[in-house]
Amino acid sequence: MPTIPIISTLESYLRLTASREQAISANMANVDTPGYHTRDINFQGELSKAMNGVLNESADGTGAMQISPVVQEVKGLMERPDGNNVNLDREGLLMSQTQLQYQIGVQLVKHQFHQILSAINGGGQG
Amino acid sequence: MNLFDSLTISGSALAAQRQRSEIVAANMANAETTHTQAGGPYRRKEVVFQSSSASGFRLALAGTGHMNGPTAGTVQISEVVEDPTPPVMRYEPNHPDANKDGYVAYPSINPVMEMVDLMSSVRSYQLNASAVSAAKQMIQQSIDILKS
C-alpha cells in the first residue's frame, strides 16, 4: 500500500516542524534572559533520519515511531554583553518559514486523504 | 503535543514581560516616594529573568515515560532585586522626612531609563504575542485536516 509511507513521512515532517517552532518560541521567550544561547534543531539532518526510520518501519511493519530531535545551540551568532545571543531577525524569519513549511505539510496530508476519499467514492463520480 | 508546548513557552514569556512592565510602572509611580513601610525612600526594583527547562507537572509526566521530554526554554522571573544605587539627597528643610541637615532622600530613578525599559518590555510582549498567534494558526491548520 503506497499511501501509508507518504502519510507517515508527512507526519514526521509535521512533527519536526512543530519541534522547530517550539525551539523558536523558546528563543523568542528568552530574548531578555541573560546568558541564554539560541537553540535550534538541524532540520535537514533530523528529517532524513526520520525518513530512514519511516522506510525501515514500513519494511518490518512495526507501529508508530518516536521522533526526538536533538536541540543544539546555534554557533556563529553575535553575543550581547549580557551573554545572550538571540537574534530577533533570525527568529522572526525562521518562524514565518516554519509556519509556511507546516502549512505545506498540512496541505499535502489533506491531499493524500482526498486521494483516498476519491478512490473510495469511485474516482470521477465522487 | 509540541505545538501546545510552544504556547506554554510563549505564554511564560508573556507573563514574565507583563510582570516586568508592572515593576517598571511601580518604579515610575514611586519616583518621588520618600516614605516607605520599610523606612527610607523607595528603592528602584529590577527583575531577573531565568530560563527554566520544565515545570513540575511536565517533569512528572516525563518521568512516567509517556512524554518525549520536558518543555524546554520557558522563561520566568526568578527574583525581583533592589537597585543598590544610593538615594539622591535634596535640600528641603521643611519636608517631614528631612534629616537633621535638612536633606531629603529621594529614590534615584531616571524616568528615561524606565521608559526605555518599558518600551523594551512592550516590544518583547508583542513579539511573544505574535509567536502565540503563529502557533495558534498552526494548530488551527492541523484541525482543518479533519475538515473535508
pLDDT (tens digit per residue) in B70-119 = 566 889 898 999 999 999 999 999 999 889 999 999 999 999 999 999 99
The residue in chain A having the minimum alpha-carbon distance to the alpha carbon of residue B50 is: A33
Contacts of residue A60, defined as CB under 8 A and 6 or more positions apart, other chains included, come to none
Q: Which of B47, B138, B144 to mutate to test the interface with A (most CBs of A within 10 A)?
A: B138
Q: Give the Cα separation of B145 and A116 in Å (integer).
A: 14
Q: Is A18:B138 a contact under the CB 8 Å cutoff? A: yes
Sign of torsion, CA A84 A74 B67 B137? positive
Cα distances from B29 to residues A29, A53, B16, in angstroms, run 27, 59, 20
Q: Is A84 on the interface with B (CB under 8 A)?
A: no
What are the backbone dihedrals phi and psi of residue B52, each rounded to the nearest 5 degrees, phi first? -125, 150
What is the predicted pLDDT for the residue at A104? 94
Which residue among B1, B9, B141 sits closest to A25, beta carbon to beta carbon? B9
Contacts of residue A9, defined as CB under 8 A and 6 or more positions apart, other chains included, come to A50, A51, A54
- Determine whether the interchain pair B131/A28 forms a contact, defined as Cβ–Cβ distance below 8 Å: yes
The β-bridge partners of B103 are B91
Which residue among A28, A71, A103 sits closest to B127, beta carbon to beta carbon? A28
What is the predicted pLDDT for the residue at A63? 47
Q: What is the ipTM of this complex?
A: 0.73
Q: Is A12 on the interface with B (CB under 8 A)?
A: no
What is the predicted pLDDT for the residue at B56? 56
Chain A hits for B3, Cβ within 8 Å? 18, 21-22
What is the predicted pLDDT for the residue at A49? 86
